[in-house]
Amino acid sequence: MEVVLVTLLTFLLAWGALAWVRPQAFTAGPAWLRGLGGLGAMGLALLGAVLLVLDGGLLGAALAVGGCGLALLAVWGGDLLWAGRRPLLAAASGAALLGGGLGWWVGGQAALGVWAMLSASLAVKTLWLLRQPEALRRLRGLRSHLKPWVVLLALAVLVRIPVPLWPEGFPLISLVQMGLISLAALWWGYAQVGARIGLLCALAFGLGLGVELLGSQTGLPFGRYTYQGAPPPTLLGVPLIVPLGWFALVLSAHVLAGGRPWLTGLLVVAWDLGLEALMPAQGYWTWQDPHPLWYGAPVQNYLAWFAVGFVISWLYGRLGPALHQSQSFAWAYRLEALFLPVGLALLGLWPAALVCGLAMNLLAWTEYLRRNGSPATDER
C-alpha cells in the first residue's frame, strides 16, 4: 500500500514540476542516443534483477522496474530527452528529490526512497515526451506500422520477465518464448516469400531434429551427450524447443548475416556458447564427452554448430533469396543477444554470461552499425 501511495504522490509532484516548464519543441539530438540510453537503462534493470534474486527486496524491484521503464523511454525519445535536458533535469530533479524524501519518510527505508525517485523520473520524462510533437509522431507511426510478428516478438521478450521470480517455471516459459519466436518467424517469413516459408520451416526443423537425434545416439556430429531426463514436451526424445530454435533463431541469424552462410554459422556458434551453460543447468541435456572444452561440450560441438547453421542458411538463401533483403527479423537475434547473457548472470554462470554476451553482441551490433551507415532497407 505504501508503494502505491508513494507512486501516486510522486506522479502528482512530477505533473506539478512540469507546470513550471514552458512548452516548446526541441530539435532532436543524435539518433544513437536512443540505443545507448536503452542499453544503459537495461543494465540498471539487470542490476535490479540480480538484487531481486539475491534478496527479493524492494530495492531490486525498484531498479528492475525503473530500468525497464527508462529503457522504453530512451528508445522512444532518448534523443528528444537529451535535447531538452536542461529544463527536464530541473523538473525531474525536483520531483525526484521531493518524491524520494517523501518515500523515505513514509516508509522509513531507503529502498522506498529509491522507488519514489525512479517513479518521479519516469513520470516527468513520460509527461514531457507526450508534449513533444516528434515523440507523438513516433507513437502514431508505431501504431500504424505495428505488425503482428512484431507483437509476437515483443511477447516473447515479456514472457521472460517472470523467470527470476519463478525459476521452476523455466521449461514452460522457454517453450512459450520459443513458440512465440517461431510464430513470429513464420508470420514475418510469409510476408517475404509467401507460403514457401512453410517449406523452409519444415526443412530447418527436420534437419535440426535429425542431427540432434543422430548426435544424441551416436556422438556425431556434436560429441557425446544425452537428452535423458529433458523436460517435456519432446519429439522422439528431443526437447521441442531445440528444433524450433534451429528454425527460428537461425533464420534471424541468416537475416542479420545478410544471407552469408559463413557469418550465420559464426552467429549460431556465439549463441551456443551461452546455451551450453544454460540448458544443461536446466536439465535439457547432459554432456558425457571425454574431451570437454566449454561447460562439458567438446570443440567438435562448435564446429558442428557452425556447419549446421551454414547448411540451414544456405538452404534459406537458395530457396528463399528474398528473406535477407529485409533486416527487420534480425531483431530476434539481437534481443537474444541481450537477454541470454542476463539469464546466465542471474543463474550465477558469469563466465558464460561474459563470453556469450561479448560474442553475440559484438557480431550482432557490429553488423547492425555497418548496415546502419548504408541506405535503409525495406522493413516489411
pLDDT in tens, 66-120: 888 898 899 889 888 888 887 777 777 777 777 667 666 666 677 777 877 888 8
Q: With contact defined as beta carbons under 8 Å apart, do 248 and 189 qualify?
A: no
The Cα–Cα gap between 321 and 30 comes to 34
Distances (CA, A) of 249 to 119, 241, 252, 254: 36, 11, 5, 8
Sorted by sequence, the CB contacts under 8 Å of residue 251 that are 6+ apart come out as 185, 189, 200, 204, 316, 323, 329, 332
DSSP state of 28: -
Residue type at 82 in one-letter notation: W
The Cα–Cα gap between 172 and 159 comes to 10
The Cα–Cα gap between 330 and 341 comes to 18
The Cα–Cα gap between 159 and 84 comes to 34
pLDDT tens string 198-216 = 999 999 999 999 999 999 9
User: Which residue shows C-alpha cell 531445440?
Assistant: 242
Residue type at 380 in one-letter notation: R
Report the percentage of the chain scoring pLDDT > 90: 49
Report the predicted TM-score, pTM, of the whole model to 2 decimal places: 0.75
Phi, psi of 287 (to 5 degrees): -85, 135
pLDDT tens string 261-277 = 999 999 999 999 999 99
Domain ranges across the chain: 2-144, 147-372
Terminal-to-terminal C-alpha distance of the chain: 45
What the block records as the C-alpha cell of 100 is: 524520494
Mean pLDDT by 10 residues, the chain (380 residues): 71 73 69 84 80 74 85 89 81 73 66 79 87 87 82 89 77 95 97 96 97 95 95 95 98 96 97 97 95 96 98 97 92 92 86 95 83 48
The Cα–Cα gap between 36 and 1 comes to 35
DSSP state of 24: -
